Amino acid sequence: MSSLHTHAPHLTREEILAGTSKPVAAWIRTACLVLSAIGLLAFVAGLFLAPDRAWQSLHFNWLMFTTVSSAGVMFVAVQRITTARWSRTVIRFLEGYVAWLPVAFVILLLLVSVGKGHIFPWTHEPIPGPEKQLYLGNTLFFTLRVLGVYAILTALSVWYIYTCVRLDVGHSPEGGAKWARSLRERMRRGFRDERREIHSTHSLQGKLAVVLGFAFVFGWIVLAWDLSMSLDPHFFSTMYGWWVFMSGWVAMLASFTLLTMAWRRHLRRDDLITEHHFHDLGKLCFAFTAFWGYITFGQYLVIWYGNISEETHWMRLRLMDPWKGLTLSVVALMFVLPFFGLLSRAAKVYLPTMALFATCTVVGLWLHRYLEIYPSIYGAAANLPFGVWELAIGLGCLGLWGLCYIAFMDAFPRMRVTLITSPYRDEVQVPVDPKTMEPLPAHE
């Protein structure tokens, strides 16, 4: 992807800050508050009327929003690993995903403590095999493992985004949401000259991004085993963890595309967010849609030709009523429609079609997460356990996620103004020692 066509057209830092600081519309914030209230009321009512469904709905919605948000931070880190320049004007829209992760930790704490008996069948049913008894039988080990892995992943994610934001806050005039004023003051403390800060931040991010990459892959494999695959203690798949976090990855790219469209329209900055960005995002959505199809079919194919009952029952169940219709819908929404729909360049840069296929992917992942959880709990059910609890709590999580995202975007510069406007912005392509400012060997 081209890295040169997205530089700001000779705008100053002050002009970009002023031109991208338009407040989020009040109705959007109100809508998020209303959705959050609906979800909270539904969950509280569900604790009395249908506690199993309430906790299970919160669980699969947690997986939906948290895998997407964590993947968003990882994609930001990938931009550093590849020293990408094409995304400088839009990547802050994705950095805001980090705001959900600390909130998600609190929800996860409730899920694996108060709610685990309503979610995980193995907490009150026999666990097959000594190995799985060892891994799942000790609930304290399970709880500490899940919370510990997620805490490490969240801490690294917050730290990485902190370094990104600090570089822009350091030389920008004070402004933004009041809740983050002390945080912005802390970011400015010890801030040195711009050139040195660009290089020292780039150097630190190079190390952090790699560590975060390992934590993201390993962490989500463990979390996928514990929070999703373990719901069916008889089933196991070595590809399952990859399948879970890569499905979140492709939906992250789709939601990022939708938000980039929304921000361009809201800020009216067609000069900073161009057709090239949507072409690049469309290519990424297409590529990872193909990859999702590859790992999904790859997992299915291995299970099919292996023909081992411990594996085949998982797939067979989801291809039976009442789950079959949703399973085929997920395949259509996450692969068939976006793959064939985004083949052409025109479909990627024409925003209505790009928005349509991106929405298909996001909705498809929501159903994907549902199908990971519910069939494993309910088995060959007579009726589809899908209704007001799943919808209302899902809307509540959407509203809460929106409030977290808006809070972040209101608190910090909306674009990476330093790396857009600084005369030293492209020196990072040839790394230097941030202490001596002398060039490092080409291999860094």
Distances (CA, A) of 430 to 160, 203, 427: 21, 11, 6
**pLDDT one digit per residue (tens) for the chain, 444 residues:** 444 444 556 788 888 988 899 999 999 999 999 999 999 999 999 999 999 999 999 999 999 999 999 999 999 999 999 999 999 999 999 999 999 999 999 999 999 999 999 999 999 888 888 888 888 888 899 999 999 999 999 999 999 999 999 999 998 888 889 999 999 999 999 888 888 899 889 989 999 999 999 999 999 999 999 999 999 988 888 889 999 999 999 999 999 999 999 999 999 999 999 999 999 999 999 999 999 999 999 888 888 888 888 888 999 999 999 999 999 999 999 999 999 999 999 999 999 999 999 999 999 999 999 999 999 999 998 899 999 999 999 999 999 999 999 999 999 999 999 999 988 888 877 777 777 777 776 554
Helix axes 139-169, 100-113, angle to 10 degrees: 170
pLDDT digit string, tens, across residues 8-42: 567 888 889 888 999 999 999 999 999 999 999 99
Q: Helical H runs in 139-193?
A: 139-169, 181-188
Kindly state the tokens that stand for 220.
Answer: 């989500």
Distances (CA, A) of 167 to 124, 208, 212: 50, 15, 19
Beta bridge partners of 432: 439
Task: Write down the residue that tokens 């709990």 correspond to.
Answer: 377
Helix axes 388-411, 100-113, angle to 10 degrees: 150
pTM score of the predicted model: 0.93
Mark residue 169 as left, alpha or beta (left: phi above 0; alpha: psi -120 to 50; beta: remaining): alpha
Instruction: Give the number of other CB atoms < 10 A from CB of residue 381.
Output: 15
pLDDT digit string, tens, across residues 225-273: 999 999 998 888 888 999 999 999 999 999 999 999 999 999 999 999 9
